[in-house]
């Protein structure tokens, strides 16, 4: 092996060891987001969702509380932070003003990349806020 090849190999090994592992833990803080000023008084509550990525399987678990009316939908949407986007997945949830939210989803490689970019958000809809009551982007947590 030439000296140049040996140096290149050594640099490649150092770079591979220094590269951070891809994110596998995510968290969303659910907050009220009134879509229109006319329904701002009806949009209340808070929540926290954690998600773990194992291979292509995303496991979601969380709680929400303090909504003025019962939850009617819980979904994951795709959109850059602060931008509304289309529904990607449905989640299981308690149909009440406070409760739990769960889900297990198998993602494609593109969806895993989208998750790691922070482009998925959880949205809980309620009877009095059908366009969405609580929202929160799934963001990587430090390892």
Q: What is the reported pLDDT for 18?
A: 52
Q: What is the reported pLDDT for 3?
A: 58
Q: What is the reported pLDDT for 2?
A: 62
Q: What is the reported pLDDT for 52?
A: 97
* C-alpha dist (Å) from residue 106 to 27, 55, 125: 18, 9, 23
pTM: 0.81
d(CA 122, CA 51): 11
Q: What is the reported pLDDT for 64?
A: 97
d(CA 124, CA 110): 24
| Reported confidence tier of residue 22, pLDDT bands at 50, 70, 90 | confident
Tens-digit pLDDT profile for residues 52-97 = 999 999 999 999 999 999 999 999 999 998 888 999 999 999 999 9
136-143: average pLDDT: 90
d(CA 34, CA 14): 49
Least confident of 35-39, 57-61, 90-94, 116-120: 35-39
Q: Which residue has the tokens 């009440």?
A: 96
């Amino acid at each position: 092996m030439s000296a140049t090849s040996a140096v290149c190999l050594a640099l490649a090994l150092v770079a591979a060891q220094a590269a951070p592992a891809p994110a596998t833990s995510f968290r969303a803080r659910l907050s009220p987001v009134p879509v229109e000023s006319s329904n701002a008084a009806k949009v209340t509550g808070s929540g926290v969702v954690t998600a773990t990525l194992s291979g292509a399987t995303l496991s979601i678990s969380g709680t929400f509380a303090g909504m003025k009316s019962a939850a009617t939908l819980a979904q994951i949407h795709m959109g850059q932070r602060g931008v509304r986007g289309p529904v990607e997945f449905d989640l299981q949830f308690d149909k009440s003003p406070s409760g739990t939210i769960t889900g297990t989803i198998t993602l494609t490689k593109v969806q895993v990349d989208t998750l790691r970019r922070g482009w998925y958000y959880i949205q809980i809809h309620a009877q009095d806020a059908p366009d969405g009551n609580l929202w929160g982007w799934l963001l990587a947590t430090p390892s």
